[in-house]
Structure 1
Amino acid sequence: MERKDIRIEDTWDLSGLFADQAQFDAALEQAKATLAQLTQKQGHITETRESFRLFMDSQEALQRQCENLTVYAQMRADVEPEDPQVQQNLAKSVTFVNQVYAATTFIDQELIEHHQLVEDYLKQDDCADYRYPIQEIFRTIPHRPDAQTEQLLAQMNDLFQNPQKTFKAFVPEFKPVLIDGKEEFLNQAIMNQLLHNPDREIRKQAFEHFYEQYRRHQNVFCSTLIGHAQGQVLQARLHHFSSALQASLFEDGADVPLFQQVLDIANQKYHGAFWRYNELKKKLMGLDDCTSYDLNVPLVQSVDTHYDLDQCFEILDQALAPLGKEYQALLKRARTERWIDFYPHQGKRGGAYSWGTYDSNPFVMTNFTEGYDSLSTLAHELGHSMHSFFSHRANRPLLADYRIFVAEVASTVNEVLLNQYMLQHSDDPKVKASLLYNMLEQLVGTLYRQPMFAQFEVWLHQQLEAGQALSSSDLTDYYYKLNQDYYGPAVTVHELEKYKCYSVPHFYYNFYVYKYTIGMSVALSFASRILKGDTEDYLRFLTRGGSCAPIDQLIEAGADPRGEQVYNDAFRYFEETLDQFEKLMEEI
């Protein structure tokens, strides 16, 4: 399918950001003018409290302009990658943002040099909005390189981003899958769908055709992934951190003990329950040899799990009703005002995300295929969007954007509420079993799969920090062994599974994936309270944006991620759900 074949109503409308190319070009020129004005203030930021306030407001305006340019350009590129003008806009916006980064490195240093004076300004009510952002800058003082190194790092920013950009730009062409004598187009979204197919040969084709391309291009992906990790290691060292992991955690005010606690609980303490789940899968499928491409087959047959878009929004309206009428109204707006780009097509980026700017609607990109997973993904991404909407409405731009550390909470709350609603509104044991199965799959993906991914990330960075030379076979062999330990004795790990390490987008980010586990654990805590009618803490959490530290936001809302309780409750919830599922499967 090509984009021109999709109804306009089922694509997103980005015209609220820029209606045409002339507006984009004008905005870029205005941003350049703002940058020029800002850099002229170097050496004069803190001369008076008024000059400090005016500078902070100008910096906020520039960041807002940059965000509009880059988000618009990237989102257009994600769905129209072959349009030359789209690619040119993306290149222009990225280049400009890198110029901004390089030209404004003096800001933090100047504020730090006048630390005490700025602290005095921050005590005044008219500077209250700047307190948390400035305190975050001052927290970095022990990890500041000298001015010359800082300037060099700024100039190298584009180089550090190259691996991630290369990964996004390099989209392999996959051999089509033969279904009923007809060749079917294959991409990430379609492959995920076909892995649910009851025909084992189709699953095998989809899996092998997809990951064969990552095997074929393994040296490209290996170089890209190692290049990314090397960049993280170098930056961590130059910022006086003991490891890339510590540097990444520092940004969220987290620490290595919290990170390691998440991995230990998932990969050791409660891992036996996941092995038990895989053994049950093998038994229910009646397979002598259960392998990688068998694990996504719905274990409950003859259940209609297909929903068109109208049905999806009717269900979401009811499932998320406990969050209030305003929340429901926003879901309707997301559909009618075209916040969402729904369907997969040739060239479109795989997966799903929610994005946008302070000046735009929150947007969702998804690859909708009508299964329950598509409905759940829609709920997930709209959770992100609602979080952004409430955060932006409650805060000025400087304080509006929530940290990645808490980004998965709102999305996961929506998924949990959706599943609970579907369970409560079905009397059919097969439907209930199917829903329990889907919840188990979501829990596996967040409570178990992500900590396994995190273990791979830790290992990769530790090898580089120890000075080890790594080849593709080093990475893929370790990842293969990790998967064998992860799935347990019931599963034969397919040889091509080892190349999956090159296809995981978050490996080209920076220690992101463990936050999914925290997000799910905290979300289960919130969802339990929401279903009991206690929504106040959660709805307030959605408005906090970037106004205070993310861990403090969770503590304030009654879900402390530093203790074990939220994790113990989450993994026990998995065990209880597994017990319910196993019992139902014995009855049907």
Structure 2
Amino acid sequence: MNTIKLKSRNEIPKEYFWDMQKIFTSIDEFEKDFKSLKNMSNDITYFHGKLKSPNNLLNFLKLHEKISRLADTLYIYAHCRSDEDTTNTKFQSLRGEIDSFLAELSSKTAFFVPEVLSIGKEKVLNAINSLPELKPYTFYLMNILNLKPHTLSKEQEEIMAAVSDCLEAPSNIYDMLSDADITFPNIKDDKGFEVELTDKNYSVYIASKNREVRKSAFKGLFSTYYKYKNTFAMSLTSSIKSFIFNSKMRNFNSSLESSLKPNNIPLTVYDNAIKAINDNLSSLHRYVSIKKKLLGLDRIHMYDLYVPIIDTPDVHIDYNEAVKIVEEGLTSLGKEYLKIFKEGIENGWIDVFENKGKRGGAYSSGSYDTMPYILLNYNYKLNDVFTLAHEMGHSIHTYYSKKSQPYIYSDYTLFCAEVASTTNECLLVNHMINNELDKKKKLYLINQQLEQIRTTVFRQIMFAEFEKITHEKIETGTSLTSNDLCIIWHDLNKKYFGDEIIIDSEIDIEWARIPHFYSDFYVYQYATGYAAANAFATNILNNPNASLKEYKKFLKAGSSDYPINILKNSGIDMTTPEPMKKTIERFNELLNLIEKNI
């Protein structure tokens, strides 16, 4: 048997590399700028205790921007170069140096926020009015000052910083337990070979066409987690208590408020998302029923949810063909958008193929003064085509944002981060479904989008509901044991998936393998991001001219306002249930399509 060996980087044509020469032409050039950065950063401490003067405040902000922009550029270069070949010790060294320096820089500028808060809103506004050059910083400074009620005294902040390691201990314990200490049993794979089950390869076996394989993977994984249920319960409830302690110390009314308020996101956004999904769970129940029918099962179990109803099409898509497919799928975004897309393809934004030592996965990354670089590991599959569309969505969002905003507002918040990338995916899959003539491929594409909505919207909102229940119970003094957590999780699964599916007892411990629960109230943003993206895509397809103009407004906004306002100003009001309802409408359309095509 011939073994296909992974190519080394020098075996891949340079036309498929990202162009790092546009940042630095040599390591010497990088090190020269790094030296300048270190010298500049020493000057920032001059302003400590002097920010009451409007001129000093302005000069600090200007110097801080200059330092930050150069630091960002050095960071992008070092990280991208180390990711393209993780065996290159020189690039690993550069990465380590810039990471250490950024921690040092953060320490040097730590005086800024407390000092602005000590000046107070009235005096800062007076400074802005007296010095026109400060006006562009108004939103930035007001955002800091609006959180003054939740910022502690210098002494209290020092105490909180000192105990931060202790407060993060539950998360660290969880990581060690789930990643290092747990071992799973062996199972038999599709070919009858005995293989070691791991948390990583579980996703392969739970999607197996062989029901016995996915059943043994399911039972093997969760029965192992169940053995550690009390430890996992202690780590999770301790993490929740740490978060609640932090929110109380910072004078928030609840832990949920402490997570949402810094970005000025109303609590109703969280509650509306849960309510909208709860009001439409019949759609998910219908999906389960259709899946049961298509899989030819008398009874459907939790371990049957991830098996594809249609096999992945055995297609080999050359990269250049993938570019054409994505370009055609994004035609509705207009000539200007496609021109930027082509610029990214032709001007070295993308590092395309896998090579020995290259970091896995895909991402979009860049700074204000670099191109928005994209790392891919293109492998000629249909999923790789969608990954290209997704990452280009991020990069073109970054492109518009930095072209339209000053440095200070050129980034975008996590709440908005996945919207542009997912809009691209929604438009692409819609185009492909509408234009696919092969019945099997069409069904596959329909199922792909159904699964994306099921896992990104329904499933993440179920997670969000679990977080809300557990945090509120602990906030009111209720103690939660592992059995309590299992009952809450079981009941949620029963409610979300309906009466037609058997809620296997093993699923009750699934909460123990969700690392996102240690980043409190994070997961709902996957669902809201998808809902906003789907709403944009739907509007663009139904009313291209007006909706495209609104969408561009979103792409150009960066962080110049709070995320809810940015979306609302672009026609998507996340304070209402409408975007989530549009997602459910699309889910129902896809269910109709799948029934029509089977």
TM over 0.5, shorter chain: yes
Give the aligned partner of residue 587 of structure 2: 574
Structure 2 Cα separation of the partners of residues 392 and 20 of structure 1: 26
Residue 550 in 1 paired to residue 563 in 2? yes
Match of 2:411 among 382, 387, 401: 401
Cα deviation, residue 539, structure 1: 1.4
Which shows bigger deviation, 173-182 or 490-499?
Answer: 173-182
Cα deviation, residue 232, structure 1: 2.7
Letter in 2 for 1:566: P
- Asked whether the 8 Å contact 1:101–1:154 carries over to 2, the reply is no
Match of 2:127 among 121, 125, 130: 121
* CA spacing shift, 1:87–1:314, aligned 2, 3 Å: same
SS of match in other structure, 1:105: coil
Cα deviation, residue 302, structure 1: 8.1
Cα deviation, residue 320, structure 1: 0.9
- Asked whether the 8 Å contact 1:352–1:365 carries over to 2, the reply is yes
Which shows bigger deviation, 244-253 or 371-380?
Answer: 371-380
Cα deviation, residue 293, structure 1: 3.4
SS of match in other structure, 1:324: helix
* CA spacing shift, 1:111–1:88, aligned 2, 3 Å: same
Residue 537 in 1 paired to residue 550 in 2? yes
Structure 2 Cα separation of the partners of residues 345 and 475 of structure 1: 43
Which shows bigger deviation, 66-75 or 148-157?
Answer: 66-75
- Asked whether the 8 Å contact 2:44–2:108 carries over to 1, the reply is no
Structure 1 Cα separation of the partners of residues 210 and 329 of structure 2: 32
Structure 2 Cα separation of the partners of residues 223 and 13 of structure 1: 48
Cα deviation, residue 562, structure 1: 1.2
Larger radius of gyration: 2
Deviations 1:74-124 (A, max 9, x none): 667778778877777666655554444444333122223333232123235
Match of 2:146 among 132, 139, 158: 139
SS of match in other structure, 1:489: coil
Residue 428 in 1 paired to residue 448 in 2? no
SS of match in other structure, 2:47: coil
Structure 2 Cα separation of the partners of residues 341 and 209 of structure 1: 37
Task: Give the alignment's TM-score, normalised by structure 2.
Answer: 0.83
* CA spacing shift, 1:458–1:561, aligned 2, 3 Å: same
Letter in 2 for 1:393: K
Which shows bigger deviation, 509-518 or 22-31?
Answer: 22-31
SS of match in other structure, 2:558: coil
* CA spacing shift, 1:35–1:301, aligned 2, 3 Å: closer
Any residues of structure 2 matched to 1:9-48 within 5 Å, and which? 30-47=36-53
Structure 1 Cα separation of the partners of residues 6 and 30 of structure 2: 22
Residue 152 in 1 paired to residue 159 in 2? yes
Give the aligned partner of residue 57 of structure 2: 52
Structure 2 Cα separation of the partners of residues 227 and 491 of structure 1: 33
Give the aligned partner of residue 427 of structure 2: 417
- Asked whether the 8 Å contact 2:326–2:428 carries over to 1, the reply is yes
Letter in 2 for 1:128: K
Structure 1 Cα separation of the partners of residues 493 and 357 of structure 2: 31
Structure 2 Cα separation of the partners of residues 500 and 344 of structure 1: 35
Give the aligned partner of residue 260 of structure 2: 249
Task: Give the alignment's TM-score, normalised by structure 1.
Answer: 0.84
Give the aligned partner of residue 234 of structure 1: 245
Identity, in percent, stands at 28
Q: How large is the Cα RMSD of the aligned pairs?
A: 4.0
Structure 2 Cα separation of the partners of residues 262 and 405 of structure 1: 14
Give the aligned partner of residue 297 of structure 1: 307
Letter in 2 for 1:293: Y
Match of 1:446 among 449, 456, 463: 456
Residue 524 in 1 paired to residue 542 in 2? no
- Asked whether the 8 Å contact 2:270–2:524 carries over to 1, the reply is yes
Letter in 2 for 1:528: T
SS of match in other structure, 1:360: coil
Match of 2:575 among 562, 565, 568: 562
Which shows bigger deviation, 274-283 or 364-373?
Answer: 364-373
* CA spacing shift, 1:514–1:302, aligned 2, 3 Å: closer
Structure 1 Cα separation of the partners of residues 233 and 378 of structure 2: 30
* CA spacing shift, 1:186–1:386, aligned 2, 3 Å: farther
* CA spacing shift, 1:226–1:181, aligned 2, 3 Å: same
Cα deviation, residue 167, structure 1: 7.1
- Asked whether the 8 Å contact 2:51–2:57 carries over to 1, the reply is yes
Cα deviation, residue 419, structure 1: 1.2
Structure 2 Cα separation of the partners of residues 213 and 85 of structure 1: 41
Structure 2 Cα separation of the partners of residues 545 and 117 of structure 1: 27
Cα deviation, residue 566, structure 1: 2.6
* CA spacing shift, 1:237–1:397, aligned 2, 3 Å: same
Which shows bigger deviation, 575-584 or 186-195?
Answer: 186-195
Any residues of structure 2 matched to 1:208-357 within 5 Å, and which? 225=236, 228-266=239-277, 268-300=278-310, 303-304=313-314, 307-332=317-342, 334-335=344-345, 337=348, 339-340=350-351, 343=354, 352-357=362-367
Structure 2 Cα separation of the partners of residues 239 and 250 of structure 1: 12
Structure 2, unaligned runs of 5 or more: none
- Asked whether the 8 Å contact 1:102–1:154 carries over to 2, the reply is no
Cα deviation, residue 414, structure 1: 0.7
Structure 1 Cα separation of the partners of residues 436 and 504 of structure 2: 37
Deviations 1:235-291 (A, max 9, x none): 21221102221011102211222211111111x201111011111101110112323
Structure 2 Cα separation of the partners of residues 71 and 164 of structure 1: 28
Give the aligned partner of residue 457 of structure 1: 467
Cα deviation, residue 444, structure 1: 1.7
Give the aligned partner of residue 137 of structure 2: 130
- Asked whether the 8 Å contact 1:447–1:571 carries over to 2, the reply is no
SS of match in other structure, 1:233: helix
Letter in 1 for 2:570: A
Letter in 1 for 2:497: Y
- Asked whether the 8 Å contact 1:521–1:566 carries over to 2, the reply is yes
Match of 2:110 among 105, 109, 113: 105
* CA spacing shift, 1:222–1:52, aligned 2, 3 Å: same
Cα deviation, residue 294, structure 1: 2.2
How many residue pairs align between the two structures? 582
Letter in 2 for 1:118: V
Structure 1 Cα separation of the partners of residues 466 and 430 of structure 2: 33
- Asked whether the 8 Å contact 1:71–1:356 carries over to 2, the reply is yes
Cα deviation, residue 564, structure 1: 2.7
Which shows bigger deviation, 408-417 or 194-203?
Answer: 194-203
Which shows bigger deviation, 244-253 or 297-306?
Answer: 297-306
Cα deviation, residue 474, structure 1: 5.1
Structure 1, unaligned runs of 5 or more: none
SS of match in other structure, 1:562: coil
